[in-house]
Structure 1
């Protein structure tokens, strides 16, 4: 019996270090998709946008795709896993103790005291049962290990899936394109072929060619008809094009800050230059991109247009540097044509800073300075005898200075007058009323006859009037034709207020009434910083021409040619009155 106890004890100790494994199947997914159990429901070719439309890439690009719809079976998915088991140390210890005690009680004479064999057998059986229970009560060791074995069981449902693949186009593949901007039809039923499975519609080039203007834009709609389906795409204009400022003034000032400080002018931009607008700086400025710098231009000098961004900025922006007075050829090397003439007087009026709808008259003040410089240095006027008005707003300022000049003149006083600004034309009872536009409100003007009558009273001696005035019709009814100019000759008529009263008076206009008074500037960068008329008047004096007829012949040869060369427009100077008198005062 003792031997049996020892065997049991040794067996329990041996089994206490044993472990085992077990395998089982568990449900992984009750609605798993069986990719091998499917059917094809439908197959069709579709179009899909391959890249977003942006101002940097304003093309609508559509890929040709094959769209297939599948139905897959959903089933219960089970997986096989393996679990390791080990004996529970505490339970094993208790089991060993219990089994040993039972076996010891069954086989020890000291305890059983001669018990019957049946009692001993019962205790030994209990020891075996306790030992067996100890061995069979295992604890899982670690997590189950998946074997990778899976299998589908019964079907629980179905799953619909679409698959798209890019396909290569054939020579016959094409689509019909319709494009609208607002209600305007731009393209209708245009057949366009696919290339390498892609259809590309250049919206940027199409819309840019329209030269759309202003901030009130409309929606762009594109309809593409392909394979009996119509695909519609809608975009705001600013998703396709970018806003640009196109210079409308002959010259616009590029500034570092949005204010009129003369010290922040960086350069001058020629008419037609286009710069990308970054922001509207209300109410008077655009913040623009010039090269890589952010600068400003006045809104009155430009119009907002929409265009695509894939252009050469160098070819769209013509800038000229700021040139100080004295650095242009006619501003230096001024000849001395006469000695000091203390008895002569001069009036110089220049209007430059107009408001809409009249553009700024660039360089008008510089033109006035040029004339003043020649009056002083070439003709010999004393600076205090040269009267000047800038940006006049009413008749009163003109009347006051005319009275001041008249009070200082006598019958032998030579008078020189220079006018620079916009003029107005208004038809009244088949007659044309000419005005001199002030820099005040849109309707403010001074009757030209009133100005000329006032000038005519300044002297009975030599009177030279140079008028660089660009006349504009106030309305469509006031437009004047070439035949009406030839018939009525309004400039001759207005000049009669001076030449009819004074045989020593000469009046020269820089252009005809229906022509523009152009700047000496080109989109190639040629820039003399003056209007053509005062520039060539100064050039005539540089050549020491002093007889009015000779000066006018010089103007006739150069002004029309230069205007045609630079701007492809006519500009014909006009002269009335005494054509043979000398510009220089007689001693």
Structure 2
């Protein structure tokens, strides 16, 4: 054991020495048909490079001032020699071992703006990819893009560079095409044998990646007035309330499908991670007042509305009503700090939508993979009356009946229901191949796949609940 600890200490000291003697350059991602020199002129790229350089310097890396060099190339005609010449001057002439290519995208969320940072680290000797990662800052109301870049970069820096250095020494490369990781990354523990050398230690990462994440069909259509609310509740604050594994991943990929396959404009998607009770009230309104954010976004009789939720649900045994569980809720006091399913349906029934799809990867039984959220209760058969159930222009898909649990699907890093819903709208449910997936088709597909997988994976019964006109077209 002592020898192993000494070896691990040696490895981290060695990596630190590598950093202290290492020069690095950061290049902006160049769009297709663009030039490196022009990419440096983009204001957000300038802030991105400045922010990332500050993080590298704090970690004892020596920075190649690429911005000054590119400015010199512009002044003396070097930019006209082409991208390859510019890149060679930045990388080869500075005798680098590694170089970084990055792209920043500024986005707006429900709680403010945030940045997504796509980072690639390459072997400078052959320009082969060593590691690729995507990170994002927290949502906040700020105009300081550089600070957001630094925040996003710091989150993944140690893991990113540790992997890059180890892979550089082992000459282990990532072959393109290889998609960016959209959700989080789970680090695997690496066993270090006593006789291992530094060069043999390669940090491996397991990405949360499913076949439905990387095979997202892209449609040219744009549904200009369509509005969506997407909620992923994974991390609960109350002690003893387990996380809903993959809920944030579910929500993130649902958003990708809405944009790429269903034609929703990104700015029309209200996306909330770990929603509180205040968030639910702001989104859907309160009892007797439906005019929350969703109501205000909708254009009467023009907007197709899509609502998705992945998270906990529980019953109130006394009223036999179901509740969404916000992340700041004590489930034992759900009638006071939850969000009532009946209020939800009453309020969305008053939204002047053109059509409505509600997709809920939740069980309102209180059952989870880690046990019951409410102790010592018997199954409750939820009573909910709402006009949405009788609306020909509305459909509701729920993962399980009110006395069942909504299962997770670890092999695919999704909720079981969400995975097969996405698989279905990809085309697997379109049994007649007419490019129109109807409620009848996806209902049959979901019930067959989910009931079988729930028995196989978890030895339990799970039957999705489907409401609406069978001929309703879910995806065209």
TM-score of the superposition, structure 1-length normalised? Answer: 0.41
Structure whose alpha-carbon radius of gyration is higher = 1
* Higher percent of residues as strand: 1
More helix by share: 2
